[in-house]
């Protein structure tokens, strides 16, 4: 049975724990009924055997924590964005390659049933352009990286996952709002518009509305972790390519 550790037991850390039932937690606050370490340094000094360490701390800490873990020969899954600069992302990628370890940035939206449906069923040669909107509640934490890095990373990752290299323009708008929204609009060469609601799991085309809420009973977080473990270091991607795009755009609109 696979063993896991979670660094940072906030909102996302709790979600991961619910999905995979971590064997170890690293946080400044002790967690009842869990093997507990107060710091990353304490964790690596004891070096417990785990198959994957999940980093779910604030983004500005991702680089230093992931670097320490990779140098200690751990496989690492980092919440998005993996880093806040291209240079730091490249540093981690090179280190993971040298050590032969997993370095993966969370790609949960790839496991959204709407995205899975697009990947399997939409002929992208018939798509002339894509527009996406992602608006969410502003997180209540210090040193917030802003909506481009916080939210835009999802859209940029979907661009690389779905259409990179296919010469399909993709316009992205992101921001914080009291009215959350996660939507893709696929403009077909026929003039049709396919509306993909990633939040409510609907796809609408003409008068047809597909409800994909029941199409995938698995937990996307668990699916992602299982795929990471199955593929090992072969699953690693060049995450710095995504960070390079985010660095380029400092407002709430991204054009790819």
Q: Per the omega criterion (within 30 degrees of 0), is the bond before 81 cis?
A: yes
Q: Which of 122, 109, 112 is nearest to 213 (CA)?
A: 112
Domain 4-106 part of CATH 3.40.50.720: yes
Residue 230 tokens, joined: 């199955």
User: How does the average pLDDT of the chain come out, rounded?
Assistant: 94
| DSSP H or E segment with residue 3 | none
Q: Are 232 and 100 in contact (CB under 8 A)?
A: no
pLDDT value, residue 227: 97
**143 pLDDT tier (thresholds 50, 70, 90):** low
pLDDT in tens, 154-176: 999 999 999 988 999 999 999 99
Which single residue is written with the structure tokens 């690596």? 44
* CA distances for 149 relative to 60, 133, 144, 167, angstroms: 11, 14, 9, 23
pLDDT value, residue 142: 61
**251 pLDDT tier (thresholds 50, 70, 90):** confident
The domains of the chain are located at 4-106
Q: What's the CA gap between 152 and 166, in Å, rounded? A: 20
The pTM for the full model equals: 0.94
Is the C-alpha dihedral spanning 223, 255, 200, 181 positive or negative?
A: positive
């Amino acid at each position: 049975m696979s063993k896991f550790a979670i660094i940072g037991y906030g909102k996302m850390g709790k979600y991961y724990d619910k999905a995979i039932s971590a064997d170890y937690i690293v946080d400044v606050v002790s967690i009842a009924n869990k093997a507990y370490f107060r710091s990353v340094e304490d964790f690596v000094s004891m070096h417990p055997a785990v198959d994957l360490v999940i980093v779910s701390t604030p983004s500005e800490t991702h680089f230093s924590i992931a670097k320490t873990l990779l140098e200690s020969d751990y496989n690492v899954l980092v919440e998005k964005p993996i880093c806040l600069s291209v240079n730091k992302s490249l540093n981690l990628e090179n280190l993971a390659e040298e050590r032969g370890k997993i370095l993966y940035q969370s790609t949960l939206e790839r496991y959204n049933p709407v995205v899975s449906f697009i990947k399997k069923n939409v002929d992208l040669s018939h798509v002339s352009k894509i527009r996406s909107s992602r608006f969410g509640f502003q997180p209540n934490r210090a040193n917030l990286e802003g909506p481009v890095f916080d939210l835009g990373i999802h859209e940029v990752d979907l661009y690389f996952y779905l259409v990179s290299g296919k010469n399909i323009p993709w316009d992205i708008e992101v921001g914080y709002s009291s009215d959350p929204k996660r939507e893709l609009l696929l403009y077909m060469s026929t003039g049709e518009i396919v509306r993909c609601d990633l939040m409510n799991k609907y796809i609408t085309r003409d008068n047809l509305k597909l409800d994909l809420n029941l199409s995938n009973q698995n937990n996307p977080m668990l699916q992602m972790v299982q795929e990471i473990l199955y593929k090992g270091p072969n699953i690693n991607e060049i995450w710095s390519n995504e960070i390079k795009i985010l660095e380029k755009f400092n407002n709430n609109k991204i054009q790819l």
